Amino acid sequence: MFKTSITTIAFAILSMTAATSKAQSYPTRLLDHESQINDIIKGMTLEEKINMLHGKNMFSSAGIPRLGIADMEYADGPFGIREEMEPHSWNSAHLTTDSATFFPTGSALAATWSTDMAYAYGRGMSREARLRGKDMILGPAINIQRIPTGGRTYEYLSEDPLLSGMLAVAYTRGAQDDGTAVCLKHYALNNQEDYRGFVDVRISDRAMHEIYLRPFEMAVREADAWGLMAAYNKVNGRWCSENMQLQTTILRQQWGFPGMIISDWGGVHSTVDAVTTGMNVEMPGSRYMGKALLDSVKAGKVSEAVINQRVREILRVRLTVKPIDKAVANTKPVGNAEEMATALEIARRSIVLLKNDQLLPIDAKHVKRIAVVGENAITKMALGGVGAGVKTRCEITPLEGLQAALPANIKLTYVPGYKSFDRESRSKRLSPQQPADKKLMAEAVKAAKKVDLVIFFAGDNREVETEGSDRKSITLPSGQDELATALAKANKRMVTVIVSGGPVDVSTVSPASGALLVSWFNGSMGGKAIAEVLTGQISPSGKLPMTWPCRLEDVPAYATGSYPQKLENNNQNDIFVDITRNRSNERRQQLIANYTEEEMVGYRWYDDKPAPVAYPFGFGLSYAQFDYSNLQVTATADGLDVSFVLTNKSSRDAEEVSQVYVSRPESHIARPVKELKGFRRIALKAGQQQKVTIPVRRTDLCHWDAPAQTWMLEPGIIQVKVGGSSDYLPLSKDFDLK
């Protein structure tokens, strides 16, 4: 339960110790050029300085040609390098050399629970960015998944700050070790798409630091992230792009961030406040930080010292990232074998097996006829909806993957079963939740009766889950529940694969299916990966990075009434949509989002409530069986080492993600029932036994002390719990934390 204080505040304060400093804990490369930057700034005119502080083209900002300082080139991401656009519009440049690898989206990466995969992901993105002439990747996207219906839940990583943070650190190091800057986004608390252009998030200082800012802090302090993007929304009454607390007090002073902040496109709302609180580059235009800023300096409203500091922060990044000659960029093919191989390895490890009544893997000795049902079996997910997409050279669909993976003597029959929600339907503002198409359903049922196995590809697509708007429901679209029920009556041997970026309601398809999997929006090689899992070439090993609720009303933001917000006379589109259509993006409405659930996001909430969940955080089955034993907890200089023995009790090789949670039953402050504090992915051969050690850092055992404005470590008895998901923790041991 969420405990309240049981001792005096004075005793609690005396028993705690500050645990972190205000400086970065990972060495930065951005301060290696300060002397050179001093000379550059001295030689610049005021006009040249101002010219660096706003967009030049749709995805670039100006350098200093006279001094040989190149423009900054931005790569829209975060799951693939976007195609080239016309300089001042959202129209394609129609090049033939600007394709890229479609990497699995954020929720898929998070389902791997692998920092190695996150590092490879960042490195792969950087390699392609360099070939395309880009200096900064607009990613990773690391906002917390507060609601399952969020339009960008598929881009974000997890509901848990530690999982999000550790993956963000690895992604950042992978990209920047290869030479491309990251731009962490969206800073901060951009946890919904509806009304994101003007919603004002009200949140306590502790919840903000412990849950929503923690991934950003980790990527800045532990990976030296060189860039951040300010979010569209407000936080505690101030736009993120001019928020002194976020941009100056926390980011630059507490975390020691020396890099640059860019706005989200059209996300600047002032001149003086934006530049003085820390904004470096207004994108994509110059409305506030062009002539208006020049005039403000000349009028004495902004000092040139502030301008010099903003220019310095840009130059730190510019001189650290080697520019690519524009004559070289986009001259070599992108989406090559190495990056496709990385995308495949991530996709393989992301697929989550939720249920298996011995239907999987497919037994080729007994299964000779298979019906593949559902348009998601043939739908490509690299493009769709609003916002970033990838013009990929290759995307293997699930049907193509199965056709390549199955023996020639197995007959595959494909029927669509339903008509997917498409762009035309979205533009008409129709609901994705429509009745089943009777004709298509009848054809699917007929096919199901004639086969040994049905594989039903259900779920969403990129038109259902999209930037700019949140889903209004987690019910499966296009009458898929009705279709699933009919298919199950026709053939009890049905496997359902959910293709989505976030949770959906599986209350109908789960009991109708003998096996249930989640394959996400899984990138260029996603079809090959799901085919390998279904046919048993590999064992599924993904784990859910977010809770899958039974009902939307059980989700904390919905249960507390803080989402969705109600707005009368809403006649405005999304802020980004307005920009792409050359409409005014001024936001005059006022709308409050009170995060009344505080730190109780995701599994933290469900642990304290009677409402059941469909599938818990960290859950995922395997074709193998793993046994946990012999837990030991020992103190180290940096925290704890949690050791145990993991045994693969099956006859097949497989990987397991072991998770460490900590409970504080005797805490003097309010805490969740348990919190994730460590994890590790382990590969074991059939029958292999291995001692596994997972470090738990002291910094991750701290809580945020709002009055002291620092992280504090509370000593006392903690319970260390280990297992394969948040609801399967067979090992537990008390430890006296000092």
pLDDT > 70? residue 677 = yes
The dihedral region occupied by 13, where left means phi > 0, alpha psi between -120 and 50, and beta the remainder, is alpha
Superfamily of structural domain 624-737: Immunoglobulins (2.60.40.10)
Judged by DSSP in three states, 255 sits in coil
678 membership: H or E segment, kind and range: strand 675-684
Residue 589, pLDDT score: 72
The average pLDDT across 566-577 equals 67
The average pLDDT across 713-737 equals 98
**Reported confidence tier of residue 21, pLDDT bands at 50, 70, 90:** very low
Residues 6+ apart with CB under 8 A from 337: none
Tell me the β-bridge partners of 710: 705
Residue 1, pLDDT score: 43
User: What is the Rg, in whole angstroms, of the alpha carbon atoms belonging to the chain?
Assistant: 26
Given the DSSP bridges, would you call strands 453-459 and 494-499 parallel, antiparallel or unpaired? parallel
Alpha carbons within 13 angstroms on the beta-carbon side of residue 106 total 28
Q: What is the CATH number of domain 31-320?
A: 3.20.20.300
Q: How far is CA 214 from CA 144, 186, 250, in A?
A: 10, 13, 11
The average pLDDT across 202-207 equals 98
Task: Copy the structure tokens of residue 497.
Answer: 């694969």
pLDDT > 60? residue 588 = yes
pLDDT > 90? residue 169 = yes
pLDDT > 70? residue 31 = yes
How confident is the model over 234-245, as pLDDT tens digits? 999 999 999 999
The closest alpha carbon to 271, from 236, 246, 306, belongs to: 306
How confident is the model over 464-477, as pLDDT tens digits? 999 999 999 999 99
Indicate the range of 3-7, 345-349, 589-593, 626-630 predicted with least confidence. 3-7
Q: In this structure, what are the phi and psi dihedrals at residue 496, rounded to the nearest 5 degrees?
A: -110, 130
Neighbours of 687 (CB within 10 A): 13
Task: Copy the structure tokens of residue 127.
Answer: 């390699």
264 is catalytic: yes
pLDDT > 70? residue 582 = no
The average pLDDT across 487-494 equals 98
Residue 19, pLDDT score: 59
Q: Token match 């926390």: residue? A: 250
Catalytic residue among 98, 200, 264, 705: 264
**Reported confidence tier of residue 22, pLDDT bands at 50, 70, 90:** very low
The closest alpha carbon to 143, from 614, 729, 620, 601, belongs to: 601
Q: Which amino acid is at 405?
A: A
Residue 23, pLDDT score: 53
The average pLDDT across 476-500 equals 98
Residues 6+ apart with CB under 8 A from 548: 148, 503, 504, 506, 613, 614, 615, 616
The average pLDDT across 287-311 equals 98
DSSP string, 178-229: TT-EE-EEEETT---STTTTTEEEE--HHHIIIIISHHHHHHHHHH---EEE
Distance CA 49, CA 260 (A): 14
**Reported confidence tier of residue 689, pLDDT bands at 50, 70, 90:** very high
Residue 590, pLDDT score: 83
**Reported confidence tier of residue 585, pLDDT bands at 50, 70, 90:** low
CB contact at 8 A, 492 and 467: no
Judged by DSSP in three states, 717 sits in strand
Alpha carbons within 13 angstroms on the beta-carbon side of residue 663 total 18
Percent of the residues in the chain that have a pLDDT greater than 70, as a whole number = 94
How confident is the model over 634-644, as pLDDT tens digits? 999 999 999 99
Residues 6+ apart with CB under 8 A from 393: 99, 100, 101, 333, 334, 335, 524
Q: Which residue has the higher pLDDT, 726 or 3?
A: 726
Domain 351-546, what architecture?
A: 3-Layer(aba) Sandwich (3.40)
Percent of the residues in the chain that have a pLDDT greater than 90, as a whole number = 90
Task: Please calculate the CA angle 405-407-408 and round it to the nearest 5 degrees.
Answer: 115
Task: Please calculate the CA angle 587-592-597 and round it to the nearest 5 degrees.
Answer: 145
With 0-12 / 13-18 / 19 or more C-beta atoms within 10 angstroms meaning exposed / middle / buried, residue 4 is exposed
Residue 584, pLDDT score: 58
Going by the DSSP 8-state scheme, the letter that residue 241 receives in this structure is G
Q: Which amino acid is at 27?
A: P
**Reported confidence tier of residue 12, pLDDT bands at 50, 70, 90:** very low
**Reported confidence tier of residue 27, pLDDT bands at 50, 70, 90:** confident
Task: Copy the structure tokens of residue 422.
Answer: 């498409």
CB contact at 8 A, 596 and 568: no
Given the DSSP bridges, would you call strands 227-230 and 260-263 parallel, antiparallel or unpaired? parallel
CB contact at 8 A, 163 and 113: yes
Q: In this structure, what are the phi and psi dihedrals at residue 352, rounded to the nearest 5 degrees?
A: -110, 125
Given the DSSP bridges, would you call strands 60-61 and 55-57 parallel, antiparallel or unpaired? antiparallel
Residues 6+ apart with CB under 8 A from 166: 115, 118, 218, 679
**Reported confidence tier of residue 575, pLDDT bands at 50, 70, 90:** confident
Task: Copy the structure tokens of residue 584.
Answer: 């005014």
Domain boundaries, given as residue ranges, for the chain? 31-320, 351-546, 552-602, 624-737
CB contact at 8 A, 242 and 277: yes
How confident is the model over 251-288, as pLDDT tens digits? 999 999 999 999 999 999 999 999 999 999 999 999 99
Residue 57, pLDDT score: 96
How confident is the model over 107-130, as pLDDT tens digits? 999 999 999 999 999 999 999 999
Residue 26, pLDDT score: 78
Distance CA 504, CA 709 (A): 39
The average pLDDT across 154-167 equals 98
pLDDT > 60? residue 94 = yes
CB contact at 8 A, 421 and 428: no
Distance CA 708, CA 706 (A): 5
Distance CA 649, CA 657 (A): 15
Mean pLDDT, rounded, of the chain: 94
Distance CA 333, CA 98 (A): 8
